[in-house]
Structure 1
Amino acid sequence: MAIRTNSLALRLALPIAMIGLTAVGAAAPAQAAAPAERPTIEIAVPERVVTTAGATKTVPFEVVNAGQTAATGLVVDFARTGAAVDPRLGFKPPQGCTATGCPAGDLAPGARKTLTFTVAPTAELPAAGASIDLVVRDAGGEWRESTSVTVVREASGVDLETAPIPDIALVAGESAVLPISVRNNGNQPTEGVGLALAGHRYITFPSKYSNCVEVKELPGVVCVFNLTLAPGATFGMSPSTPLTIAADPATPGPANYTAGVAALSLEDEENDAALAAATKAARKPGAKLQLEPAARSLAAGRDELNEWDNSTSFLVKVPKNPADSVAIGDDFEGKIGDTRTVKVGFRNDGPATVLPRSKSWIHAAKVRIPSGLKLTKVDKLCVPNGDGEPSWNSPGQVSGHDYLCVAAKPLAAGERQLFSFTAKIEDGENEDKGTITVDGGVQDSKTTNNAAKIEVKLTTGGGSGGGSGDGSGGSGGGLAITGAPTGRIATAGMLLVLTGTLALVLTRRRRPA
């Protein structure tokens, strides 16, 4: 049966953990090709579709390549045996397909293809409904993935649908008007409508209306409207009260951010604090965000038949927004035999926040410790970067003089990441000079300050107490810029990519045929 929840974040199907970004334009070093594997194909589709008597329902489904291997010559079948779908479902296949299936083409890793079909069940459909099998396979039939959709028919009910919103190109610091449209595809009216909007923390929905409240849980806003959405009626935002979406001036870019909109029935507002708060705020004086009818039908239960199409998600595409990564050096200062600790690293001189780690890049630096030292302790965010692969299983390990150090989080403008190295000064002859070289990624156009020196400075007498450790070192001038080897970082298993997706709007399932 359909899943219902009182959590607004789950209703919207875009909880914080699933709202993310995908960096674009950051190239990774070439690596050896992995052996060919079977593509990892997933089918995203509602588990249960409910229609009202005599109504037609449009059902989207996605074929997703969730793996790293390209999929070629994909075929979609609408029944495991190639037989026709149950005629009582009133099934109409996607455009360009036959009643039993169609070619779906090729899918690169991470790509997806969206198709839609319609159902209009007849009165002969059993009370328990009937199922449509969706099968995705290769042209040769060597492998297949499948799932099913159960279609049932209800006598009456409300069925809110949110129209898709196209992707939006938005420069950091700017805003755009959202084209929102909501339709009641049911045969019962809904008294009152709510809209929930959510996005990544850099994506906001500036609210100047008294019937909208901010909801940190999303994060985003919830707005309520005291109007009746009749069966067949479609409403959109009134031009006199535009609803906007904005990108923070510090938004990292280039990147694609996921945002979403959901239409909500207000019948159960007492079970949701956000809806209740927005309803209470709407009673106060002030400018109100307004919906107005885009079309009305003559057509004259349940409060919501299909929650899966109440929501829609879209990408906010932010172009390059610079973030200047500056290397910070330091000196081991003391006399022979002293043990000293230095702090080296990098700083973000902005104006934007640095992009988070992705599959192709991570904010990191190569550190070469000068000769004449015996390292005794290394920062836990650094791993050896010499022969063999680095390991994150032994923080603080000491091996060699070359290290790879990564930022613990995306740095905002003015923030810095420092890494500590402790060593005993053994020799004043430093034939092998020390450096730190930061890889600022696609945002960093100013590379003249990406390297800084790490030196040994011998003192006489009692010594000065060693390196400053305050991270105040300057840029490295003409030192070579080579960048961090992201392949090694990936091998170390430190990459984390959060991707906004429709996977929670549509119930994604994979089952072997």
Structure 2
Amino acid sequence: MRKLGAAVAGLFVAAAVPAAAASAAPVTPELQFAHVTLTPNDGKQQIVDFWAYEQSFTLHDVTAVIDTSQMPAGVTAGVWFPEIDKNCKDATGSITCTFDTLPSDEGMAFITFVNYVSKDAEVGAEGTASVKVTSRELGTVTRSTKVTVAEGVDLAVDQTDQDTRVKPGGTVAVPLSVRNNGETAITGVDVFFFIDPWYGMAKHYSNCVYGTTAGYCHFDTELKANTSYALSEDMGVKIRGDVPAPSTIGQTFDWYTPNDNSDNIDLVNGQKPKHGTDGALSLRAKPAALAKSKPQTDISSLGLDYQTALFEVTGTRNGDVAAVGAQVKGATGATVTAKVGVRNLGPAFEFGFPNPAAQVTVTAPAGTTVVSVPDGCVKAGAAYECTTTASPLDVNASVTWPFKLRIDKSGTLTGSVVAKSFQPDVTKDNDAAKLVVNPPAGVADSAGQGGNDGGGLPITGAPAAWIGGAGVLLLGGGAAAYVISRRKRARFVA
């Protein structure tokens, strides 16, 4: 547990996404409105919010209308804390929330909690709820969700974590198991996992679906009461050969009933997924063909139905962050574009999570004026700080930012570009480069500088796995349970 705590230190709930660059670019947060599965004569809370990982934003003139008129028979919905949530009003079949301004807190702009109550509802009853949000910045955004009344079951795992030493390029065998901890048979289970850029799955099974950043496997297996089940073979995770070392990376595997896995299935299906071709993965107990089963939902209060595997990568291998400078020419009064940035010379890639792969400080030459600051860069005193969003920053990959400079003086004008890595760096000798306007005749680019004939906008192809983040809002047991469920989706690097 101490190692796990160290590995996840500094990370926010779930599902991994590289630290966002400070940027003037507009933030487009995601409207979150999860599927709901609840048991008869019970209640469940659902959060409605906008989410953008580690990016601040504020929405204005916001109206959110939650339509609950198509709920399953016997299920009602309303604002969970009407005495506190003064922005929202209940009406028959709908909830309306209005905000003059809706600011984010650590990436989340909270709208409301909806409380679903099933009274005299029958297992198998299904319906829908939907939300439509309008704001000055985003226009109209809608989201629909399925509401299901299900049989309660209790999933758990026998082993919650694993710690394995591995060399770069090695494969780790992860033994996964799941347990039916209750008295009701569970008719089929799913295991969900993220697919990270620093490792991959060693095999791709035919009963598993793989997207770009996440995947899941479905097992048509009846889990008998108070019985444990293991995979027919260990799940293989292959570590990249250019991973930094020493380092600790990890993977979390979450077990769900198919109903409770609905949001994850939506995530994977939105990534043009593919089924594997390496044969079927199974659980050790396989019954005859199952009859059509009732919907089921996990009612265990502690959420101990996930397994964590830590991979301690051994050896010594780091990336080499090098500054990319530039030389540009122009007449006095002209505006020129200088592309400056950073390059990873290897031999290891640079993690972009939880810290950015690199940060670059750009000081414009005295005698010039910065007339256009590129996205990903912000003013920092007399200089500008630019932050990469690539995760990882691969070996031989570059990130450059185009600064537009007005030349106010004649002669040779010199500024600087300084790159900083948040991981151990092979050498500091190439961390600084020059930004030169009108170099003397016959002077070529110095070693380590990228000139002004390449580059481009900052790399932004980092994985965009869905993240649920309600850690900033602990409003009682229901909210705490929500946070726990999101926490299980953690990915980590240390």
Larger Cα-atom Rg:
1
**TM-score for both structures, normalised by structure 1:** 0.48
